[in-house]
Amino acid sequence: MASALGASIWSDMFFIAFKLPNLFRRIFAEGAFTQAFMPSFIASRHKGVFATAIFLRFLLFLMLFSLVITLFPEPMTKLMAWGWSWDLVIQTAPLTAINFWYLDLIFIVTFLATLLQYKEHFATTALSTALLNISMICALWLYMKHDPKTVAYALSIAVLIGGALQVGAHLVTLHRLRLDRLLVGGWKYRSQKDVRAETKQFKNLFLPGILGNSTPQISAFVDTLLATFLMAGSVSFLFYANRVFQLPLALIAIATSTALFPAVSKALKNGDEAKAYANLTQAFWLLAFLLGGATLGGILLAEPIVWLLFERGKFTALQTLQTAHVLQMYMLGLVPFGLAKLFSLFLYASHRHKKAAKVALYSLITSVTSSLILMHSMGAAGLALAGSIGGWVLFGFTVKEIGTQKFIKIIRNRRSLYLIATLLPFGMLLYWLNGWLLSLIR
């Protein structure tokens, strides 16, 4: 994508059009829906009826919402790109209308994935994400040499094809694990079982969960909006750098939290808090080592990483430097966002979603305020740094809600010395490696 579009106005247009459904994808797939639905589903006495009721209500709402956006895409596009002229908004609006239908598809994927998580099956969801990327890669391969407008439209259609493939993969696995019978039974007996109290409880958890678990996504969305007031290409700098930032966050923090959440929920439901905290401690040290190493790598090797991944075709050396600076600012928030994701499991598993929302609100206010201050002097990099500052606020308040003494007990461990003894020489090695690589590529 970087080779075909570079960091240009057309790449900015596609990223703006893809931003809103991508925001909701992260909220649903990595946060509010799953972490509100799972405890309610586990506690439900009529799981099939409850699951079917939630699925139908959400899907109907999202389809109506998508239809409205299809008919009136300009206002939504302007909402995401305040700093753009109306002519540019009109050019982007058709892309917004196409991409928005991905939201409906990814909700279906998320709902089915949550059912699979209940059975502690994660492979299908993890691997199916590649189907979206493969679809977009195929579109780029077929239309690489066409004009930027054609490439942007091809990518938008590929997003929908990728979403449909993801739905198909989950349906196949659902049938193989015989979970489809749960939904069929839920539909069959929907009028005979009363789940109104359970759906009400889910709503009470879901609404604060949107804010509580989606601070990084909402912050990134606001940053994209603010970037439309900066130089052309700023939206793209944020997108490319954020893709690199999201890789270790997803592979390490989100994967660990996703796998751990059903076990923590079940342990707390059964009153076994000791087992839940034992799992937390083990996961904390795993994340501390891996995220710490990834942070050093991302900061010290930012320019070689961006050069290797993006600098070809229409992506220039100057754009590499600008994107690398943004990446360094993003990486400062990797550890706090990753650890906050882990510790927040206890808030959601114990139904303290409103506490999580309150913590996230502090973080979001800090992030947006910092963005407004730093964007004038640092540009897109200032927006990324503001997000990282918000991440540290999120982590600090999350630990406070879980219990500061419990956190101190976790880190009062000889593993702290091992962590420092490992990361210090690793950072020195990366510093030397960065200098050597820069001498080769420049």
Structure tokens at 304: 């070689």
3-state secondary structure 81-120: CCCCCHHHHHHHHHHHHHHHCHHHHHHHHHHHHHHHHHCC
Mean pLDDT of 107-133: 87
DSSP per-residue string spanning 354-385: HHHHHHHHHHHHHHHHHHHHHHHHHTHHHHHH
Q: What is the pLDDT of residue 178?
A: 83
For residue 414, is pLDDT > 60? yes
Mean pLDDT of 107-114: 87
In this structure, what are the phi and psi dihedrals at residue 232, rounded to the nearest 5 degrees?
Answer: -60, 135
In the chain, the amino acid numbered 429 is L
CA 415 distance to own-chain centroid: 29
**Closest listed residue to residue 115, CA positions, set 186, 182, 201, 187:** 182
Q: Alpha-carbon distance 376 to 388, whole Å?
A: 17
**Closest listed residue to residue 14, CA positions, set 25, 2, 24:** 2
Torsion from C-alpha of 237, 226, 107, 241, nearest 10 degrees: 20
Which run of H or E residues covers position 396?
Answer: helix 380-402
Q: What is the pLDDT of residue 64?
A: 93
pTM for the model stands at: 0.75
Q: What is the pLDDT of residue 357?
A: 78
Mean pLDDT of 201-206: 70
Structure tokens at 258: 């996703």
Who wins on pLDDT, 44 or 312? 312
Residue 329 pLDDT level (bands cut at 50, 70, 90): very high
Give the range with max mean pLDDT: 65-74, 176-185, 231-240, 266-275.
Answer: 65-74
DSSP per-residue string spanning 289-324: HHHHHHHHHHHHTHHHHHHHHH-STT--HHHHHHHH
Who wins on pLDDT, 117 or 328? 328
Give the range with max mean pLDDT: 15-19, 253-257, 272-276, 308-312.
Answer: 308-312
For residue 235, is pLDDT > 90? no
Q: What is the pLDDT of residue 427?
A: 92
47-71 and 73-80 helices, crossing angle to 10° = 90
For residue 369, is pLDDT > 90? yes
